[in-house]
Amino acid sequence: HWAESFHMQLYPKSNIREFSSKLFAESDPTKFSSTVEEYMAKIETLARQLLELLTEGLGLEPTLFNHYVEQERMMSMRFNLYPPCPQPDLAIGLRAHTDPHLLTILHQDEIAGLQVHIDDQWITVKPRPNCFVVNVGDLFQVLSNTKYKSVLHRAAVNGTSKRLSLACFLNPPLSATVEAPPELITPERPQ
């Protein structure tokens, strides 16, 4: 992998303040930690709204899946740096994968690198200013009984520009049983 990253947990127990005190020991670590906490609070609100809209799109009561993201929810974030690569055709920033989460909300800079696998081709997702990329994760694919798909994607690198992205992940508690509701199970679409 031609990338650097660090991962921080927000819920159930945040390690942001501890992490920032190590990362910014010479300066004011609370500035970073409070900024991250504020950002994640807004992302959490957005994630809940998206979860309800996606649920409504399935023809279900919008709040049906809210119990997965209340109280014991899990939320984390990963900062990614993809530096310029001297041989981008021989390296990858992040291998091809699907996200194991409910939802991923990705904020990326203006440098293209995210690619999705569609019809046996890798398609580059052009970054748009002030926009997020939202990926349905494997767990939401299960909840939707595969009506929504968790897309295979990767991060490519380039030889001239560094690329930054910030991925936020929404998950149910580890103790949750994730399964499609009976309304989505049919003879044509068994579980």
Q: pTM score, two decimals?
A: 0.92
pLDDT at 2: 93
- Residue 71 falls in which region: left (phi positive, over 0), alpha (psi -120 to 50) or beta: left
What digits encode the pLDDT tens for the residues 65-79?
998 888 777 899 999
Q: Domain ranges for the chain, please list them.
A: 4-176
User: Averaged over 155-174, what is the pLDDT?
Assistant: 95
CA distance 184 to 35: 40
> Band of the pLDDT at 33, cuts 50, 70, 90?
confident
Strand ranges in the chain using DSSP code E only, listed in sequence order? 4-11, 74-82, 94-97, 103-108, 114-118, 121-124, 133-136, 153-155, 163-171
pLDDT at 96: 98
> Band of the pLDDT at 178, cuts 50, 70, 90?
very high
For 4-176, give the CATH class: mainly beta
CA distance 45 to 65: 15
pLDDT of residue 150 exceeding 90: yes
> Band of the pLDDT at 48, cuts 50, 70, 90?
very high
